Structures are given as structure tokens and as C-alpha cells.
Structure 1
Amino acid sequence: MPSVTAPDGTRIAYERAGSGPPLILIDAAGHFRANSPLDELADLLTADFTVYRYDRRGRGDSTDTPPYAPAREVEDLAALVDHAGPRVSLYGYSSGCLVALHAAAAGLDVHRMALLEPPIDPAEDSTEQHAFIIKLRELTGEDAVSYFLTTIGVPPDMVDTMRGTPHWRAMVSVAHTLPYDGLLSAAVDADLLARVTAPTLVLDSTGSTDDLTGMAATAAAMLPNAVHRSLAGEWHGVPAATLAPVVASFLR
């Protein structure tokens, strides 16, 4: 398995497919290449891009080096960006969007970005947010996954349907990384978004709830060079066949 090495020694496993300008896909909380909603999208985008997919630290075939900080995830991505070459674009899904935003704000050479439903709520109470992270650190395994999903607003019937499935077991296997995404979110503010100058397409699904579509609209309004678009889809997701041509057109 090919990998790049972050400055702190963490090995970041990745895979590459397709041809064309480089594009890195960034998974959401609890996801990695072996348990990802990005499979079909990646396949469709290989017609236009050299698509890189990687396991964020602590997930899948990547290693981890404590203590965690959002800056470490930026360094992980920077190592892959350096390997992929110039004019790299980023696609982020859910909390994967936060990694992309942190990286762009930190000055990585990002050509363009497409973000599907970034979880950004500037009005969120910081005390509640930090309490959420502390609780996640106290929980393990299925308890951590259940708490995370229900607290961020995944519909209860969806959580019940997940239980016992291979997807659920995969999320449980990386439950220790869920606080990482909480810390990424807590570190996003108006000043960080103002530093993101890369042209950005912020997307949401017409099938999502108002909180998710509202956060997408808020993110687009706060970014200096962003456009916002809604696509037909389900809760917190858009079919790859609908998503791929829109993402490809913008990133090209």
C-alpha cells in the first residue's frame, strides 16, 4: 500500500486512480477507504482527474501519533498534496470538508474545492461543543458511535438501521478518532474561513434537513470566493451520478 509520511512520523496510506489534474477526496468522520460513501464518486471522477483517496490518521491502513490536533491533519494532507503535484483540488464530504478548509486556510496550494454539506455552525455554543468532545473521549466502541451519530443529528431510524451492519462495525473500529472531528469543528471560525481564498463550490442535498442545508449556505456566505448550489438527493447525501458531473465541471 503506497503511503506518505507526515512530519510527526504518521504514515498516511493512499490509493490513486485515473488520469488528469490531481484531486484528493476526503472522507467524513468514522469513514475510511474500506468503509466509504465515496467509492462510486471516485470511480466516476477518474475519467477527468487523477483521484487520490487516503485514510485519515488513525483509520484504515494509516497510523496515528498522539496527541491529536487539527494542525496534524493539515500536515497529513500537505504530505499528500506535495506528492500529488501542483494545482491539486480537494473534495470533502461532511466533516471531511473541515479538513479541506483547515488546509486551505493554512496556505496549502489548493487549486479549487468542492464541499458537500460542511458542518459549520458559527452560532454553536462553544461550551456545549467542548462538552461533546469530552464525552466522546470518555466513551468507546459502540457507545461512542451511538453518541456521536445521535448528537450530530442522524435520524434515529437511520442509526437503528446501521447497527450490526459491516458499516457499523467499521465505524466502531475507528471510534477513537471521532473526537478528532469534534476538534476540527471547534477550531473553525469566521477568521479561518476568511483565509480560504481558493474558489469553492459548497453543495447541499434537497433531501437534507434545514440544519444541514442552512450550514452549507452559511459556509458559502462566509467564504470569500464560494458559490452555493443544491442538488437532488437524500438526507446528507447526493447520488454519485448526480454529484460527479457537477463537481468535475467546477473543478475543471
Structure 2
Amino acid sequence: MNTATSADGTPIAYESLGDGRAVVIVNGALSTAADAAGLAQELVDAGYRAVTYDRRSRGSSGDAPGSTPQREAEDLAAVIESAGAVDAVLGHSSGAVLALYAAGRGVPTGALFLSEPPLRFGIEEPADDLATRLQHYVDEGRPDDAIVTFQLEGVGLPQQMVEAFRAGPQFAAVLPLAQSTVYDTNLVHDSSTPSPEMLAVPGPVTILRGEQTFPILLTAADRLAEELTGAELVIVPESVMHRPDPAATIRVVAERLG
């Protein structure tokens, strides 16, 4: 992987695949660059260059104490600068929130493709102390409690679903990502009601959602499309329950980028 250096000196690991116009993929919660492999390959097959990266505190990227949403925006800016000639950013879940937040702060994202951003617009927001409690769990060496609490309170997943995930074989793989739950919580908390700058980003914006997904995500996508100047809402039937279908998603991207 390549390395970009963020504004605070944190190394951010990224990978560039293929040739052609570049699209940066920004992943959601509890994921790394590797989880974007399907989307990246579809971009390459469609004739684009796919740039994936490990967000701060994940995978091969570094971290710094007290990191903020602004730091994550700077990370994305560093990747864009290092990768060069980026035409679009495709963000999923909290990655979509980060992409919009960064664009609102002047990061040159190009066209934005926002897949099911978990915005709440002030409705049923998580407790204000959630990030503090998550950081406490991480500092105490209890990453499992941080992840479970984040899924229950931050994401709003059903108790039964979270318990099944905790008992399953994939839970161990996300334990090293516990610190990122703090960052995702702060990011979505700060941007859950988009700022005027976020609602006036200059580039074309396409908002994607499935027909079958969590109710909060249906509401978020539809409301953002109504409030964001010039945004287009695209329903992707193949994407089910907050899992973007790679082929269908990149088809939307390719149709709009040309």
C-alpha cells in the first residue's frame, strides 16, 4: 500500500488500482480498505482507477490521541492529494457522512456519491456521552464492550442481532477497530444535522439507498436529497440492508461520471 501523510503527521495507508479517472472509496464503521475490494474491482472493470484507504485508527493507518472529525477530513484530503487527479468520492454509511463533511470544509472531492449516510436530523440521537463511554472502554482494554455499545446505541441495531454478531466468528476481526467507534460516533454526532456548508457543497451529489434497508437510513437519504441543493436520489434495489451491491452501485457512478 501507499502512504499519505495527514496534516497532523498521521500516516494514512491507501491503495490505487487500475487506470483512468480516479474515485476514492470511503468505508463505513468497523471496516478497512479491504472491505471495499468489491466496489474497487467493479470500478476497475468499468475503466476507472479505484483508491481505497484505511481510515484513521484502522488497518495499516496510524492514529493520534484526541482525533476529531476535522482530522479525518484532513486524512481524506491527504489521500486525494497523494493519489492525484481524483474525480469523485464514493462514501458508504459513516464514510458518506465523512465525504460530505469534508466537502463542506473545502476538501476537493469532485463529484460525491453518498450511500446511505446515517444522519438523524436531531431525531432519536444517541446520548451525548456515548463517545466518552466508548473511549473509556477502549482505554480500559475492553474493545468488545466498545463495539457492542456502539452497535446498540450508536448504530441502533437490535439486541438480538448484536448478540449474534458477538458470538460469531467475525467479531474477533473487528476488535482492533474499537478506537474507530469513538471517531465514527463523534463524526456522525457533529454532522447528524448537516451544516449549511455541507448542504451547499459545489460538486454534483448523488445519494444512493436500497429499497430494503433500516428505516432510519431510508429517512436520512430521502431528507438529505430534499435539503441538499441539486442532489439526486437514486434507489438501488440490489443493495439490501445497508450492504451496497458493488455492480449496481458502480453502474450508478459510471452513468454519472461518464
> How does the TM-score come out when normalised to structure 1?
0.91
Q: CA deviation at 1:114?
A: 0.8
1:162 and 2:165 are equivalent in the alignment: yes
**1:164-193 alpha-carbon deviations (Å, 9 max, x no partner):** 545322221110120101111122133232
Q: CA deviation at 1:194?
A: 2.2
Shift in alpha-carbon separation, 1:33–1:238, aligned structure 2, 3 A:
closer
Give the aligned partner of residue 24 of structure 1: 24
Contact map agreement 1:203 1:229 (CA 8 A) in 2: yes
Give the aligned partner of residue 150 of structure 1: 152
Contact map agreement 2:120 2:216 (CA 8 A) in 1: no
**1:52-84 alpha-carbon deviations (Å, 9 max, x no partner):** 100001110001112211111111111111122
> How does the TM-score come out when normalised to structure 2?
0.89
Q: CA deviation at 1:157?
A: 4.2
Q: CA deviation at 1:106?
A: 1.0
Give the aligned partner of residue 93 of structure 1: 92
Contact map agreement 2:24 2:86 (CA 8 A) in 1: no
1:221 to 226, 229, 254: 226
- Give the match's secondary structure for 1:46: helix
**1:145-178 alpha-carbon deviations (Å, 9 max, x no partner):** 1111122122444333423545322221110120
Contact map agreement 1:81 1:88 (CA 8 A) in 2: no
Shift in alpha-carbon separation, 1:162–1:251, aligned structure 2, 3 A:
farther
- Give the match's secondary structure for 2:51: strand
Q: CA deviation at 1:239?
A: 2.1
CA RMSD of aligned residues (A): 1.8
Give the aligned partner of residue 7 of structure 1: 7
1:135 and 2:133 are equivalent in the alignment: yes
**1:11-61 alpha-carbon deviations (Å, 9 max, x no partner):** 000111011111100011111124x2x221111111321111000011100
Give the aligned partner of residue 197 of structure 2: 192
**1:76-126 alpha-carbon deviations (Å, 9 max, x no partner):** 111111122234310001000111011111112222011110011112366
Contact map agreement 2:148 2:166 (CA 8 A) in 1: no
After superposing on structure 2, the runs of 4+ consecutive aligned residues of structure 1 that deviate more than 3 Å are 155-158, 164-167
Q: In structure 2, how many angstroms separate the alpha carbons of the residues matched to 1:251 and 1:168?
A: 37
Q: CA deviation at 1:136?
A: 1.7
Q: Aligned AA for 2:163?
A: D
Contact map agreement 1:5 1:11 (CA 8 A) in 2: yes
1:241 and 2:244 are equivalent in the alignment: no
- Give the match's secondary structure for 1:29: coil
Give the aligned partner of residue 44 of structure 1: 42
Q: In structure 2, how many angstroms separate the alpha carbons of the residues matched to 1:123 and 1:101?
A: 18
Unpaired segments ≥5 residues, structure 1: none
Q: In structure 2, how many angstroms separate the alpha carbons of the residues matched to 1:18 and 1:230?
A: 27
Contact map agreement 1:190 1:222 (CA 8 A) in 2: no
